[in-house]
């Protein structure tokens, strides 16, 4: 089944939003397969954001992501990459609907609380960057039959 990489950014960690954010993914029915609190280094972030290296906001994005620990997570479930992006809201929190994480918890693009992979290919690449294989925990969710038809 499909997996996505979701990271609570340093502002989300500092603001005490780990619990409320994890709750949204759990309550939707997605299965947590990996989780760690980690202070990323510049090399990892340059790889993670390699498509954005030339953007004018890249230096501020880098210092934002280096400003504190990040909660790195992997979630599994049907259509989880796309549904994860829906749960996050738009990149610009001012364009995010209420009920989304960014629409409920953020204002500025450079403090938008959370990252989510934008495609299945990106998700697999990002999971490989942030986690070792043995950190992805393989188990059967007892709730499966109550969530999936």
Binding residues for ATP: 9, 57, 85, 91, 102, 112
Burial of 54 (0-12, 13-18, 19+ CB in 10 A): exposed
Of ligand GTP, Mg ion, none, which one sits near residue 91, judging by CB under 5 to 8 A according to partner kind? ligand GTP
Token pair for 64: 């934002």
Q: How far apart are CA 51 and CA 18, in angstroms?
A: 27
**Residues from 101 through 140 that contact ligand GTP (CB under 6 A):** 109-110, 112, 115-116, 118
Q: How far apart are CA 72 and CA 51, in angstroms?
A: 20
Q: How far apart are CA 57 and CA 82, in angstroms?
A: 25
**Shorter beta-carbon distance to Mg ion: residue 7 or 33:** 7
**Residues from 103 through 122 that contact Mg ion (CB under 5 A):** 118
**Shorter beta-carbon distance to ligand GTP: residue 2 or 141:** 2
Instruction: Say which residues have a Cβ less than 8 Å from residue 77's Cβ, sequence separation at least 6.
Output: 1, 2, 28, 29, 30, 31, 83
Q: Binding site, residues?
A: 9, 57, 85, 91, 102, 112
48 is catalytic: no
Which of 17, 61, 71, 127 is the binder for ligand GTP (CB under 6 A)? 61
60 binds ligand GTP (CB under 6 A): yes
In contact, 25 and 32? CB cutoff 8 Å: yes
Residues marked active site are found at 115
Binding residues for ligand GTP (CB under 6 A) = 52, 57, 60-61, 91, 109-110, 112, 115-116, 118
Interface ranges with Mg ion (CB under 5 A): 118
């Amino acid at each position: 089944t499909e997996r996505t990489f979701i990271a609570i950014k340093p502002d989300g960690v500092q603001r005490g939003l780990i619990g409320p954010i994890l709750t949204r993914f759990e309550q939707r029915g997605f299965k947590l397969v990996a989780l760690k609190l980690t202070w990323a280094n510049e090399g990892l972030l340059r790889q993670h954001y390699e498509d954005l290296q030339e953007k004018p906001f890249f230096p501020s994005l880098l210092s934002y992501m280096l400003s504190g620990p990040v909660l790195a997570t992997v979630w599994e479930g049907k259509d989880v990459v796309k549904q994860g992006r829906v749960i996050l809201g738009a990149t610009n929190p001012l364009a995010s609907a209420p009920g989304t994480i960014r629409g409920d918890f953020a204002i500025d693009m450079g403090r938008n609380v959370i990252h989510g992979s934008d495609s299945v290919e990106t998700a697999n690449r990002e999971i490989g960057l942030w986690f070792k294989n043995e950190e992805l925990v393989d188990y059967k969710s007892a709730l499966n039959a109550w969530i999936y038809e």
